[in-house]
Structure 1
Amino acid sequence: MKKKIIRLMLITLGIILILVVGYRLYLEYQTDIQLFLNPRASKAELLAHIRSHGTFASILLIVLTAVMCAVPGIPTSVVGVIAGLSFGPLIGAIINILGNALGNITAIFLMHRLKFLDKKTETNHWVQAIRQMKHPKIGVMLGYMIPVIPSSMVNFAADAMKLPLQQIILSIVIGVIPSSVLYACGGEALFHGYNKTAVTLVASVTVLVGLVVFIYKDRKKKQGKQRQK
């Protein structure tokens, strides 16, 4: 019961932070939205204003991404695309990487300190898939790379395996790079056009599907060796 209350309090706090930071970000982009909705506004004026945002907007995007990443079940893709749209693929990707990395690190820290997840989480199929891999450290890294795997389950697996902090941080940073770059490139594509978007998405989805297949094959291989023993 205590764990459930702690989870509820943390999720509530996270949602409040998302609303506060999200509203401040809305104010930052209010003029952009008005230009977008105004049929008389020129495309050049809109694009110029979108790319005029500075450090404060980037900090808001990092904080919002981090909080959304730390709260289970809330996707960060829209914020990631906005980062790429506003700052281009390189800086946008850096913003996304920082936000996702900070969010996951914060979530693992809270899990480790407060122990608010139930033991039944250990039986989650994604947690088991990562922990039963021949190379669990690589499994953690791949878990962050695949959007369909809840980051909360990957965070739990990383904490449960008691990996060194340095390895956890490295796995998180490397793991969030593909999706962070993908969203930033998606934002850049929206800025310039849609020609390159299809190629990027198809290639990315292919890689992600390949990673999922790799996880399950690695898991089955390890289970097969254990049965032989």
Structure 2
Amino acid sequence: MEELRIRHRKLLYGLSILGIILAFFLIYIIFKDNEQQYLKFLNPSHDKDLLMDTFRGHGLKDMFLLVLLTAVTSAVPALSSSVICIFNGVCFGPVVGLIMNIIGNTLGNLVVTGFFIRFETERDNKATSAKPNRILEKLAHFKNKMLALILGYMIPIVPSFLVNYMGVHLKLGFKKQLLCIVIGVLPTSFLYAFGGDAIFNGNDLRMIVSAVCIIVLVVGGVTFYRRKKRDHSVTD
């Protein structure tokens, strides 16, 4: 993959700062709306069973705010949506939490993709260069470009910011890139949602299984990319 050349770096930094401010503002609103509920849940003198029954009484407003927060933390390079995705599972359960995670992460990646389409498709000599992630650099050489993009979104240690950059410059088209985003974020969205639900219910086994699955996902993705790299070298 070519070096990452940002023509509008100051604009990107400015938008990232705005995203961070928006993220903290959303966290503040969510906490203030549910402050008493959260404080009661942390108070050992209250009936835990009763509180657990009422804790998930969040409405559409909280759902919307959390999806928006997931999108923002997914879009801003300096932030991570993983904690929010786990919290979605805690507040809304595994199934609804999974849907929220997929929608939020997809929206966040689409925003970044739109930024690159709007500002970074034309290149010039004044662009500032930065070396891309090494794993992503190798993925860009895969013959199956959609598979490369899906793996990029799927491996948690690869910044989605750079994966979006790669997707735009591979020129797959909007529909194909959208499909890659949804498939790519699905595994971690699932694990975070079910892991959050496990934390809420105190299910140690499910928490351990979720953590192990995330580790396996990372190791498996890296191993797969290295095997593809080796096969590519042999072919050459």
TM-score, length of structure 2 as denominator length: 0.89
1:213 to 198, 205, 223: 223
SS in 2 for 1:52: coil
For residue 123 of structure 1, report the CA deviation from its aligned partner.
4.6
Q: Within 5 A, what are the aligned runs for 1:1-229?
A: 3-115=8-120, 120-121=129-130, 123-193=132-202, 194-226=204-236
Q: Report if aligned partners of 1:88, 1:188 keep a CA contact under 8 Å in 2.
A: yes
For residue 154 of structure 1, report the CA deviation from its aligned partner.
0.7
Over residues 75-125 of structure 1, what are the superposed CA-to-partner deviations in whole Å (9 max), with x where a residue is unaligned? Answer: 111111111111110000000000000000111101110229956346542
What percent of counterpart residues are identical?
A: 34
Q: 1 CA distance for matches of 2:161 and 2:85?
A: 19
Give RMSD over aligned pairs.
Answer: 2.0
Q: Report if aligned partners of 2:106, 2:185 keep a CA contact under 8 Å in 1.
A: yes
Q: 1 CA distance for matches of 2:132 and 2:152?
A: 16
Over residues 110-142 of structure 1, what are the superposed CA-to-partner deviations in whole Å (9 max), with x where a residue is unaligned? Answer: 111022995634654233122111322101101
Q: Report if aligned partners of 1:122, 1:128 keep a CA contact under 8 Å in 2.
A: no
Q: 2 CA distance for matches of 1:88 and 1:148?
A: 26
For residue 57 of structure 1, report the CA deviation from its aligned partner.
0.8
SS in 1 for 2:87: helix
TM-score, length of structure 1 as denominator length: 0.91
Instruction: Name the amino acid aligned to 1:158.
Output: G
- The structure-2 alpha-carbon separation of the partners of 1:134 and 1:172, relative to structure 1 and needing over 3 Å to count, comes to same
Instruction: Write 1 or 2 for the structure with the bigger share of helix.
Output: 1
Q: 1 CA distance for matches of 2:148 and 2:7?
A: 31
- The structure-2 alpha-carbon separation of the partners of 1:138 and 1:191, relative to structure 1 and needing over 3 Å to count, comes to same
SS in 2 for 1:224: helix
Q: Name the structure 1 match of 2:3.
A: none
For residue 148 of structure 1, report the CA deviation from its aligned partner.
0.7
Q: Report if aligned partners of 1:101, 1:172 keep a CA contact under 8 Å in 2.
A: yes
Q: Report if aligned partners of 1:68, 1:76 keep a CA contact under 8 Å in 2.
A: yes
Gaps of 5+ in 2: 1-5
Gaps of 5+ in 1: none
SS in 1 for 2:79: coil
For residue 174 of structure 1, report the CA deviation from its aligned partner.
0.6
